[in-house]
Amino acid sequence: MYLGMTTSLDSIPFNPRSPFSRADARAAGISTRELLSSAYQRIFYDTYLCSTMALTMEVRAKAAIARTKSATAYASHHTAAGLWGIPVPKDGRIHITVDRDARRNRCRGILSHRPIELIGRIETQNGIRLSSPDQVFCELASAGVGLVDLVVAGDAMLKRKRASLASLTKAVDRMAGNGVRVARRALHYIRTGVDSPMESRLRMLLVLAGFPEPEIRVILREFDGEWGRRFDLCYRALKLIIEYDGEQHGELEQRDSDQDRREELERQGYKIVTVTSLGIYRDPAKTLRRVADAIRAMGGEPPARWNPEWRQHFPGRG
């Protein structure tokens, strides 16, 4: 039975704002012609919704779970991560997990998984059954999500207080099968206080290339001791700051403020290396060269040879 629907008009009233099937529509007196009009939209095969409803991930997840007609099905993997607000690689499909004894109903736009050993919990959020964040982390690893993306997800889980490093470690310790090794390795790189996925990626680019791991979320104060500004990454001993510059820094007023801070820090003897998304996705090698040059300029010694592993995770597009 579809969520919020019924095959009997004597039971729950028809609600076009909840996912429904053609059979449900016919039972409610909606013709096929009307169903195919602009008044309704198709979510999946034989699954419809009134056109005024936005096709959010939440709505699509509810519809996918309802299609299974299983009381134990739940949103998992990338979809559960999205519902928890955890950044993961883009995947337009809705991921659900169904019991091994249940029939997996194949449908375009839905990827049905068999459950791995229940490591975390199955929780309910806004009426949707879904994997707990600890469980999601293990599901992503088992599905082949790579090291850097797992670290990005783990950093975000800690930042948003969806999980702790201890709870993730406990979950991975109970994990078996595909993805165990990469999950265990990712745990070593997950940090608290990371503000954005791109900051996580920038840190991992440096670390995987063999650079010393910079400090995270460093607060530098003004000469008078007043709070100055928190920076993404810093080699404090070298007075070297590495900043990711995202779209939030694009406004003219913000750029003026950033320039003022930069000049003040330079007066205090600091050097700032600013990295954009192009320096991570398109030309990561250039970013590594810039950081290495800055380390030398500040009296440090960068790695004599970069660990080639970084290329596996940051291939670039140049």
Q: CA-CA distance, 193 to 116, in Å (whole number)?
A: 30
Q: Can you tell me the distance from the alpha carbon of 234 to that of 209, in angstroms, rounded to the nearest whole number?
A: 17
pLDDT of amino acid 266 = 82
To the nearest whole number, what is the mean pLDDT of the chain?
88
Sign of CA dihedral 44, 49, 50, 56: negative
Residue 220 has what pLDDT?
76
pLDDT at 28 over 70: yes
Provide the pLDDT for residue 263.
Answer: 78
Q: Cα 178 to chain center, whole Å? A: 20
- Nearest alpha carbon to residue 41 among 50, 29, 32: 50
Q: Does residue 5 have a pLDDT over 70?
A: no
What backbone torsions phi and psi does residue 41 show, to the nearest 5 degrees?
-130, 145
Mean pLDDT across the stretch 31-37? Answer: 91
Q: What is the pLDDT of residue 16?
A: 86
Among residues 183, 159, 157, 161, the alpha carbon closest in space to that of 170 is found at 183
Q: Higher-confidence residue: 68 or 181?
A: 181
End-to-end CA, the chain = 51
pLDDT in tens, 152-167: 999 999 999 999 999 9
Amino acid identity for residue 242 in this structure:
I
- Percent of the chain past pLDDT 70, that is, above it, reads 87
Domain ranges of the chain: 1-55, 58-192, 197-313
Under a CB-based contact definition with an 8 Å cutoff, are residues 174 and 267 in contact? no
Question: Which residue type, as a one-letter code, is found at position 262?
Answer: R
**What is the share, in percent, of the chain residues with pLDDT greater than 90?**
67
Stronger pLDDT, 147 or 46, i.e. the higher one:
147
Would you state the pLDDT for residue 177?
86
197-313 adopts what CATH topology? Endonuclease; Chain A (3.40.960)
Query: Which DSSP category does 182 fall into?
Result: H
CB 61 within 8 A of CB 76: no
What are the pLDDT digits (tens) for 97-155? 998 666 566 788 999 998 877 677 899 999 999 999 999 999 999 999 999 999 999 99
Residue 8 has pLDDT above 70, yes or no: no
Would you call 38 helix, strand, or coil by DSSP? coil
Q: Give the pLDDT band (50/70/90) at residue 9.
A: very low
